[in-house]
A and B are shown apart, each in its own frame.
Chain A
Amino acid sequence: MLKALLLAFLKIGLFSFGGGYAVLPSIQAEVEGHGWLTQDDFARAISIAAMSPGSIATNGATLIGYRIDGFGGALAATVGILLPSLVLIVLVAMFFYRMRDSKWMRYVLYSLRPIITMLILYAAIRLLGIGGGSGGGAAGLNWTFIATLLIIGGCVFGMLRYKLHPVLVIVASGLTGIVLF
């Protein structure tokens, strides 16, 4: 189990371009592909990962690994997601001054940016579909879904219009959740 976890997260780590939210679809695809977690478990782990300091992707790996196989699982998943970027960054650092203004670097960045943007949007759509922890499987419009949409709208508005800090938004939404749900 530990080996499978390590391998799965090594694969995720190798392709974790964009970091953070952009990595969530890869994690979800792996975890659900292996049948390790239910969608609700995944959504819950991601909510807690977002509250904790540090990258949501690394935290998510830690918590999902823990959920699947205890402390050893947490360690395997965290090492797995970090190791590829550690190795790649050391390689990048070795050739840093030659790569800095490289044409290929610009080409890769040009192509990666729109893909990463859509990956994050897709991750958001997937998370909305999960509905996290409500237990009600109905796909139709229910109170949980509408209230979640309201919170999302509020967060986007607050961040874009008033440049609120992400931590503030998370805390406020937690409190709003207690009132609404």
Chain B
Amino acid sequence: MTYGGIAMPTTMREQTSKLAELFRIFLRIGPMTFGGGFAMIPLISEEVVAKREWLEEKELDDMLSVASAAPGGVGVNAAAFIGYRRAGVAGAIAAVIGVTLPTFAIGLLFYLFYSLLENNVKVQAALQGIHGAVIGLMVTTAYRMSKAAIFDKMTIGLACLSLLGLTVFGLNPLWVISGGTLIGVAYLFVEEKLGHRIATESRRKAKRAKPEAVGPEYYI
């Protein structure tokens, strides 16, 4: 029985077993996400599309692109979305707790372990190296994203404004995000009213058949 695309629970017992199943699936997927949330996507697809057939592949893809526009990491967002579709709000909560619990515990363990070795010179040196790696990963991510993100005058303008606002004027990132989005949306709205057609995707992106060619960096 479905209602508005959401499977409605027929009994309490059925609902409980659905929640337990969601929790278990995402508990297993959570620790596999070394290297960021996108690593989770193939695993999620395997579990909920191939094995259990809760969603179709196309629906998962569309869901991921919408999820990338919402705040939050894609792993958590995907868990919440699938949990909701399967068992309502409780399902979303069960899936998010499931996906977060292992990384929460492992992260804390790493940190405690580090605290014990805090004064070890080798550990300090390794962390200093990883510090460089994190910056390198970020630069790579920004570079790859820029190909799909910055492709016309307005997106170049928005990028320059954002960087200026952040570095020179020291604006809070929250203001840059909300202000910049307002400017961009207002611009597109005005252009539309003037009868100009503006491509909202880069042509390079549109040419690719597979979204993952440019997609993954969004999901880290």
A residues lining the B interface (CB < 8 Å): 11, 13-21, 25-26, 29, 43-59, 62-63, 66-67, 71, 74, 78, 82, 84-86, 88-90, 92-94, 96-97, 99-100, 104-125, 127-128, 131-134, 144, 147-156, 159-160, 165-167, 169-170, 172-181
Contact = CB atoms under 8 A, between A and B. Distances in A.
A15 to B, nearest CB: 5
Chain A facing B: main interface SS: helix
Which bracket fits the contact residues of B?
35 or more
Name, among A71, A88, A118, A159, the residue most crowded by chain B CB atoms within 10 Å (CB to CB): A118
Interface string B88-132: 010011001000101110111011001000000010111111111
Contacts of B36: 20, 55-56, 166
B110 A51 contact: yes
12 contacts: A19-B74, A46-B134, A52-B107, A62-B103, A92-B81, A104-B185, A107-B200, A114-B150, A133-B124, A155-B135, A159-B137, A159-B140
B89 A89 contact: no
Nearest to B185: A107
A151 B128 CA distance: 10
Chain B facing A: main interface SS: helix
B84 to A, nearest CB: 4
B80 interface: yes
A159 B135 CA distance: 12
Given A47-B127, A122-B163, A127-B131, A167 B35 contact: yes
A113 B148 contact: yes
Contacts of B131: 43, 46-47, 127, 131-133, 148, 177
A128 B142 CA distance: 15
Name, among B76, B102, B184, the residue most crowded by chain A CB atoms within 10 Å (CB to CB): B76
